[in-house]
Structure 1
């Protein structure tokens, strides 16, 4: 798997409110600029999204892919099921906080199926993470 990137942001809301926005995948195109569509394919036994198909347009990185989610005590993790441009993707949103404030730590590792210069790949990853965290903050706090 490729190198991991990690970024954090503090959101003025409790972890439950933050996780509710994270779990509402069909709304991602409204706040996650690089995501042009997101469709829940399956749900787990507790009714939470289990597999989701995304379409991504992050400049040089464009892909349609499916992620499998695992809802854990302090957030959610995911792994790539299938993708056109990716061989692997592993990510996590870890939430820590109180009912008034949550620190969200986003960890992402992407392994592309096609060669891409490291600098371009890192810029695309940074853009994806920046957009996801700032969009999440705006969505939860708005």
Structure 2
């Protein structure tokens, strides 16, 4: 089973708490991540942060559907998730790591690892995951800086 990984860092002109609120608003992700077609929050933790969500996303071979489970570090430095159930994917681990670089500026690192059974050549898979990661961080930046 192939596994593909990519990571990218971007600086966003927004305070860390604003960036954190945006990434935790799972249902708004289709407005700034072009590959996500629908996102439905299934469960929240007692503090109101997302616990699980159902995602419908565009994939190189059609549409994929999956459920993610989220974790939130105590220091509010980001959000991570892992795949609970997927149609095309057999695994997904992702993380946003936030670091303040000024009172109204945040460094965001987005890391993503996806496992699947797609019969695509390695160079195509690598281009797809790098494009997805770039689209996500650039979409978040545009969303928060407009």
> Which TM-score applies when normalising by structure 1?
0.93
Deviation for aligned residue 1:5: 1.4
Deviations 1:53-100 (A, max 9, x none): 111114446310111000112101100001100010001000001331
2-structure distance, mates of 1:5, 1:128: 9
- Contact 1:57–1:63 at 8 Å: present in 2 too? yes
1:32 corresponds in structure 2 to 33
1:95 matched to 2:98? The reply is: yes
Q: Give matches, 1:56-135, under 5 Å.
A: 56-60=57-61, 62-72=63-73, 73=75, 74-97=77-100, 98-135=102-139
Deviation for aligned residue 1:14: 1.0
Superposed CA RMSD? 1.5
1:43 corresponds in structure 2 to 44
Deviation for aligned residue 1:3: 4.5
2-structure distance, mates of 1:59, 1:87: 16
Equivalent pairs counted in the alignment come to 142
1:11 matched to 2:5? The reply is: no
Deviates more, 1:33-42 or 1:54-63: 54-63
